[in-house]
Amino acid sequence: MNNNGLVKLFARLGAPLTDRLIKLGFACRFFVSILRHSPTSLLRFQLTMREIWFAGVLSVLIIAVSGLFVGMVLALQGYETLVRFGSSSALGILVSLSLVRELGPVVGALLFASRAGSAITAEIGLMKATEQLAAMEMMAVNPIARVVAPKFWGGVLSMPLLAAMFSAMGIFGGYLIGVQLLGLDPGSFWSQMQSSVDFRGDVLNGVIKSVFFGVAISLIAVFEGYDAPPTAEGVSRATTRTVVTSALVVLALDFVLTAFMFTGM
Amino acid sequence: MAIPLVRFEGVRFAYGENDILRDVTLSVAAGQVVAIMGGSGSGKTTLLRLIGGQLKANAGRVEVDGEDIGALSESALYERRKKLGMLFQFGALFTDLSVFDNVAFPLRERTQLPESMIRDLVLMKLQAVGLRGAAQLMPAELSGGMARRVALARAIALDPRVMLYDEPFTGLDPISLTTIGSLIRELNDALGAASIVVTHDVAESLAIVDYVYFVAEGGVIAEGTPEAVRESSHPFVRQFIAGQKDGPLPFHKPAGAYAADLGLEVGRE
């Protein structure tokens, strides 16, 4: 193989990496652009309110139902284990800590990415494919300020609220199983939970996690939509990428944040 | 000739290595309706995007109302776009807004007018395109021709100095086609604007425009009034006007030998 062939081989091997780096660079510039246009956008808060409705309020059902079932399963599984050690009264602590620290933010974020993130990408992608964004630009209206920033902030504001709702519904599910079905003492269930769950260490850290996840998912969703090739296939691929990338980023971020928050790194 | 509202001077534009426009010079004055014709992929829509500042020329100047569009900052560019109106190929209406809200969009976004005045202006614009009765419909309830007319009402909402039309006649029935054609002419005369119509539709556009530019191979290869164009002996213009399948614009995209592609010449090698 001559020199030229080798160069081509390395170029081909490195192409996926350089493509991703270039895309990451665009995403960073895009994020800066969103932040730059955010003050104008947030001043017209009704635009963001509309997006909170679409991304947040319309996700309430799936979040609430999933939270309830996850809490119920957690209580059933946890009871099985705890009862072996004679500490079934700690079920409330197990359910609440698992949900508030971990499952609420993470599973909430995964559901949010599938329900709202994909919808945001598809809407922006289709607006681009049907030249609505170009038309907006030609009407001297910046699409980043008018369309993208409100969707981004709508997602960022909705995510922690949805995660909190997921945890609350999960704890209620745990109560239904633990107290109503398995007959644990309700006073002990709630009081142990109250004394063991720390507001700052557990609840607040869970909220901080969900804020990070909200920023990540919303950014991925708006960027993938804006960057989508203006074709049917382009929009469908971008929508899939939003869900897959969001899930991976949420899990990776969760590991890093957990390492910092709960291991004292 | 009056001072041109739109002027291209030696404009070159390329997507990466691929030259789309090599050297384009043209001008459009106030009150004029000008057609830009050429085959698919000849760079006609690129010309419109250069005027709107959505693309920047690699060389040369694109002037709108005496200002070099390529040299403006982002905020200045958005300010200048208030002078422009553009009708997109399929209307590009906002699908989540009603017809009324679509036309009101630029007025609400770019002016401080009270809602009562916006309402009157929207109804006037819709009346101009004959669709005041459709104000409360959603874009999904409109036919292709109606959607194009609503988009036209929206494009003229801010009384632009320059109107750009990207393939306004594509996919329309004969009645809608004539309607859009006459609206382009009437609105231009009423606004005193300069209109640029990028189109394939020879018969309809020659009936309404003042001047025609033919774009091919990255430049303007022929130009003239509709009468001059009809009489032209330029081979490209003849092919275009007569709709001939083959000519300077070849029917076949350049490729290797047909027989070799079919494997018929293998034995002769």
Question: Does A161 map to a domain?
Answer: yes
In chain A, residues with a C-beta closer than 8 Å to the C-beta of B94 are 132, 135
How are beta strands B18-29 and B4-15 bridged, if at all? antiparallel
Kindly state the average pLDDT of the residues B84-93: 90
For residue range A156-204, what is the model confidence (pLDDT) as tens digits?
999 999 999 999 999 999 999 999 999 999 999 999 999 999 888 899 9
Question: Does A13 map to a domain?
Answer: no
DSSP β-bridge partners for residue B132: none
For residue range A116-152, what is the model confidence (pLDDT) as tens digits?
999 999 999 999 999 999 999 999 899 999 999 999 9
Nearest CA in chain A to B52: A138
Question: Does B224 map to a domain?
Answer: yes
Write down the ipTM of this complex: 0.83
pLDDT value for B1: 52
Question: Does B262 map to a domain?
Answer: no
Could you give the number of structural domains in chain A? Answer: 1
Residue A33 makes CB contacts below 8 A (sequence gap 6+) with: A144
Question: Does B247 map to a domain?
Answer: no
pLDDT value for B140: 94
Kindly state the average pLDDT of the residues A55-59: 94
Nearest CA in chain A to B50: A138
Q: Chain A closest CA to B261's CA: distance in Å? A: 27
- From the list A138, A141, A146, the residue facing B86 with the nearest CB is A138
Of A15 and A107, the structure prediction assigns the larger pLDDT to A107
* pLDDT surpasses 80 at B244: no
Contact (CB<8Å) A140/B78? yes
pLDDT value for B2: 65
pLDDT value for B268: 52
Q: Chain A closest CA to B243's CA: distance in Å? A: 29
Question: Is the CB of residue B38 less than 8 Å from the CB of residue B21?
Answer: no
For residue range B161-209, what is the model confidence (pLDDT) as tens digits?
999 999 888 888 888 888 888 889 988 998 888 999 998 888 888 889 9
Residue B269's pLDDT band, with cuts at 50, 70 and 90, is very low
Kindly state the average pLDDT of the residues A238-250: 96
Contact (CB<8Å) B86/A140? no
| Cα(B198)–Cα(B215) distance, integer angstroms | 10
For residue range A188-197, what is the model confidence (pLDDT) as tens digits?
999 999 999 9
Query: Which residue segment(s) compose the domain that A107 sits in?
Result: 49-262
The CATH number linked to B34 is 3.40.50.300
Question: Does A30 map to a domain?
Answer: no
Nearest to A82 by CA among A166, A182, A206, A168: A182
pLDDT value for A180: 93
Question: Over B166-199, what HEC string results?
Answer: ECCCCCCCHHHHHHHHHHHHHHHHHHCCEEEEEE
Question: Does A10 map to a domain?
Answer: no
Query: Which residue segment(s) compose the domain that B53 sits in?
Result: 4-232
Could you give the maximum distance between any two Cα atoms of chain A, in Å? 79
pLDDT value for B265: 67
Percent of chain B with pLDDT over 70: 96
Question: Over B201-226, what HEC string results?
Answer: CHHHHHHHCCEEEEEECCEEEEEECH
- A 77-136 → B contacts, CB under 8 A: 130-132, 134-135
* pLDDT surpasses 70 at A15: yes
Nearest to A108 by CA among A169, A43, A32: A169
Question: Does A34 map to a domain?
Answer: no
- From the list B78, B88, B110, the residue facing A135 with the nearest CB is B88
* pLDDT surpasses 90 at B215: no
Contact (CB<8Å) B109/A138? no
Question: Does A255 map to a domain?
Answer: yes
- From the list B85, B95, B110, the residue facing A141 with the nearest CB is B110
Nearest CA in chain A to B160: A139
- From the list A130, A132, A140, the residue facing B81 with the nearest CB is A140
Question: Is the CB of residue B30 less than 8 Å from the CB of residue B5?
Answer: yes
Nearest CA in chain A to B158: A139
Q: Determine which of B46, B49, B94, B167 to mutate to test the interface with A (most A C-beta atoms within 10 Å).
A: B94
Residue A66's pLDDT band, with cuts at 50, 70 and 90, is very high
- From the list A132, A141, A142, the residue facing B92 with the nearest CB is A132
* Residue-averaged pLDDT of chain B: 87
Residue A1's pLDDT band, with cuts at 50, 70 and 90, is low
Question: Does B264 map to a domain?
Answer: no
Question: Does A41 map to a domain?
Answer: no
Could you give the number of structural domains in chain B? Answer: 1
